[in-house]
Structure 1
Amino acid sequence: MSTAFPTPWPYPLWIAHRGAGKDAPENTLVAFQRGWEAGFRMFECDVKLSADGVPYLLHDATLDRTTNGHGPVEHLPWADLARLDAGGWHSARYAGERLLRLDQLAAWCETHGALVNLEIKPVPGHEAATGAAVARAVQTLWGQATVPPLLTSFQPHALQAAQQAAPELPRGLLLEKFWPGWEGVAEALQCVALVGHHPLIDAALMQTAQRHGWRVLSYTVNDPAEARRLRQLGVEGLITDIMHLPATV
């Protein structure tokens, strides 16, 4: 059975992907601000650990795509990561934007009343350490929050470590495809949600989720017709890159 969790579902339907990760440099503070200005009140982002144990936001296991750095992030301490330009790759307007620590995001969320879906995104081989550290940080940073962050991951070992470190925090299993035993894993992790790639989601999956007591969210939903299909199925969270999409559905 899933972990007991408030009814009705306390999170909004629309969730901005990596902040407003197309309109501004993904996973940076300015991206969250842009998403907020567009009307979003919940945000998805990716959290990993620096070499010295600081939780911060970055999607990739390497620096090349979204910073002016190069190579893997695995061995870099936060002091080195903090010096990188995480905005210039997007556009000259955002040159000099910095990587964002999780505590900085928590402070912004508290000020704005924003909710978050934190995807635990460990570099390979650091699944358990990252899951545990992120969960403990969330306990501290969002300790007084009425609605806590939803912790999700594609990595069961990361979610298991988060479960052991902070069992009261809500968890969701991310699914890009179905793999043998996924239902049992989600049940053992006491997930409250499945977060599926939108083509996976159909009536059969919704029935499976209902049977287990799981809510269903979907990523990355950028097409109005697909958003309408998912809403008709009963999906309760749509993660999108398109800031004007809610107005079209």
Structure 2
Amino acid sequence: MARAADFAYFDHDDPIAMAHRGGAAYGPNVGLENTLGAFRRAVAMGYRYLETDVHATADGELVAFHDSRLDRVTTGRGAVAELPYAVVREARINGTDAVPLLTELLEEFPDARLNIDIKAWAALEPTVEVIRAHDAVERVCIGSFSERRVRAARRALGPRLATAAGQVGTGVLRYAPGLVSRWLHTPAPVLQIPVLHRLRGREIRLVTPGLLAAAHRLGKQVHVWFHPWSDESAEEMNRLLDLGVDGIVTDHIATLRDVLAERGHPLAAG
């Protein structure tokens, strides 16, 4: 059974504060998600855990980018997987910032730990290659909405790699105890789950004292993230920390910084 304490990635005394796409709702970062500038501002604020996503271009370059297409947040158009990197690198996020490579994040922030969501199968092999090239296995945690991709990354990179469970099947947690048990007993040392899930018009609260207790008995951590429609206020963050979550992944990095400081866990601003 994989326990978080066995992985260097989780070697952190305080609750883990993770900047989602660099902290996309923080004033200077609005419109600049997954940019080097956003990550720099998060690191300067004291964040040492950064969340990003990866896609591979048509010629195999690995970019830190959430969407499968450039259209929503950049000046470019088209599917990342169908474009060469020479085209992708000319696109500008919010009209100003280039789409970064994962390599750039690993090189610019050598003291940071990266939570990486592999968004497509085409990005799996390039992700493995980049992590190996930077000897970064102990600096990263791999997650994906495809559990098969997570298992493939674990096989490729070995037992020192931290992986995340919990992104698949969360809507049935309240209805399939057997599935929950198997999910808790995966090799992943951390569960990364949304605070709420919408199912058939209902909002289901996934982060409960029972779930946290079960995960902690098995030595796993529980990190929570927020849908755009869910409450991401200081009050909600405090409620989750009071419940005992081990980490919070947020776009609102200034809010979480202040919450942690008030609770006696100030971030070490650089």
- The offset of 1:162, in angstroms, is 0.3
Tell whether the 8 Å contact from 1:57 to 1:101 is kept in structure 2 after alignment.
yes
Secondary structure (helix, strand or coil) at the match of 2:165 reads strand
Aligned partner (choices 242, 248, 259) of residue 238 of structure 1: 248
- The offset of 1:183, in angstroms, is 4.6
Aligned-partner Cα distance in 1 for 2:127–2:3 = 19
Aligned-partner Cα distance in 1 for 2:124–2:22 = 21
Aligned to 2:73: 66
Within the alignment, does 1:16 sit opposite 2:19 as a pair? yes
Per-residue CA shift, 1:182-234, capped at 9, x if unaligned? 6535644x101010102321112112312433210011372112111211222
Per-residue CA shift, 1:119-158, capped at 9, x if unaligned? 1122xxx2xx433431332122144x7x411111221111
Within the alignment, does 1:215 sit opposite 2:221 as a pair? yes
- The offset of 1:174, in angstroms, is 4.0
Please identify, of 212-221 and 46-55, the stretch whose mean Cα deviation from structure 2 is larger. 212-221
Aligned-partner Cα distance in 1 for 2:129–2:182 = 25
Aligned-partner Cα distance in 1 for 2:134–2:8 = 24
Aligned-partner Cα distance in 2 for 1:102–1:44 = 11
Aligned partner (choices 194, 206, 211) of residue 205 of structure 1: 211
Aligned to 1:169: 161
- The offset of 1:82, in angstroms, is 0.9
Aligned-partner Cα distance in 1 for 2:49–2:17 = 7
Within the alignment, does 1:192 sit opposite 2:185 as a pair? no
What root-mean-square deviation, in Å, do the aligned CA atoms of Structure 1 and Structure 2 show? Answer: 2.4
- The offset of 1:175, in angstroms, is 2.5
TM-score when scaled to structure 2?
Answer: 0.77
Aligned-partner Cα distance in 2 for 1:7–1:101 = 24
TM-score when scaled to structure 1?
Answer: 0.83
Aligned-partner Cα distance in 2 for 1:230–1:21 = 21
Aligned to 1:155: 146
Taking every aligned residue pair, what percent have the same amino acid on both sides?
Answer: 28
Q: Does the C-alpha gap of structure 1 residues 241 and 66 become closer, same or farther in structure 2, counting only changes over 3 Å?
A: same
Q: Which has the higher relative contact order, 1 or 2, with Cα contacts under 8 A spaced 6 or more apart? A: 2
Aligned-partner Cα distance in 2 for 1:7–1:36 = 19
Q: Does the C-alpha gap of structure 1 residues 56 and 186 become closer, same or farther in structure 2, counting only changes over 3 Å?
A: farther
Name the count of aligned residue pairs: 232
Aligned to 2:119: 121
Aligned-partner Cα distance in 1 for 2:165–2:248 = 15
Tell whether the 8 Å contact from 2:166 to 2:183 is kept in structure 1 after alignment.
no
- The offset of 1:30, in angstroms, is 0.5
Name the amino acid aligned to 2:258: A
Per-residue CA shift, 1:19-73, capped at 9, x if unaligned? 1223321111001011122222221111121122211111111111111122322
Secondary structure (helix, strand or coil) at the match of 2:191 reads strand
Gaps of 5+ in 2: 197-205, 261-270
Please identify, of 98-107 and 1-10, the stretch whose mean Cα deviation from structure 2 is larger. 1-10
Gaps of 5+ in 1: 89-94
Name the amino acid aligned to 2:127: V
Aligned to 2:127: 134
Secondary structure (helix, strand or coil) at the match of 2:71 reads coil
Per-residue CA shift, 1:89-127, capped at 9, x if unaligned? xxxxxx2x10000111111111xx2222111122xxx2x
Aligned-partner Cα distance in 2 for 1:183–1:69 = 44
